[in-house]
Amino acid sequence: MKNSKQTRRTPQDNPVDLIASLEQVLPLLDSEKCLEALLTEYHPKGPQCPACGQALTSEQEEGWRTGRRVFCRQCKKKFFPWHGTPLQGLHIKPEEAVLFRLAVAIGLRKKDLGHLFARQPHAISYWLARLCATNLPEEKK
């Protein structure tokens, strides 16, 4: 009689298949919807100036919601929607950030993340530190 227990497959069992699947998903992600989801997550109070807290006008908010730089009329500061968030200075597309967090959540290793996003290990480590609350387990040697 066969053992009735099934072995659970993990992303590490066949990362090539998973990476190929995720590579096919990336072009399908809607950049505007990913941007909106990230802005909502990182700015729960809505669009406002990070320096003085002034709420944006509807004209300013339109630019802010599309990722453009905004000028605060109250304090005269210029800022992007990513100012003061984990995405500041990362130079990553919104859809890449969403897919990266998904890939980490399903358990891809740093090496596989580097392959998927065509980045060096130090860049993946930096993204992990900025975008994810926890790091991946150490790679097996």
Tell me phi and psi for residue 75, to 5 degrees. -105, -5
Tell me phi and psi for residue 117, to 5 degrees. -100, 5
d(CA 141, CA 103): 21
**How high is the mean pLDDT of the chain?**
81
Q: How confident is the model at residue 137 (pLDDT cuts 50, 70, 90)?
A: very low
d(CA 63, CA 74): 17
Q: Can you give the pLDDT at residue 133?
A: 61
User: At residue 100, what is the residue type?
Assistant: F
Q: Can you give the pLDDT at residue 13?
A: 53
Nearest to 95 by CA among 41, 16, 36: 36
Q: Are 16 and 111 in contact (CB under 8 A)?
A: no
Element (H, E) at 71: strand 70-71
Q: Tens digits of per-residue pLDDT, 61-95?
A: 998 988 899 999 999 999 999 998 888 888 888 88
User: Who wins on pLDDT, 50 or 25?
Assistant: 50
Q: How confident is the model at residue 139 (pLDDT cuts 50, 70, 90)?
A: very low
SS3 label, residue 13? coil
d(CA 36, CA 59): 17
Q: Tens digits of per-residue pLDDT, 122-133?
A: 999 999 999 886
Q: How confident is the model at residue 136 (pLDDT cuts 50, 70, 90)?
A: very low
Instruction: Give the whole-number percent of the chain exceeding pLDDT 70.
Output: 77
Q: How confident is the model at residue 4 (pLDDT cuts 50, 70, 90)?
A: very low
Pairing type for strands 78-79 and 70-71 reads antiparallel
**Per-domain residue ranges for the chain?**
15-22+85-133, 44-84
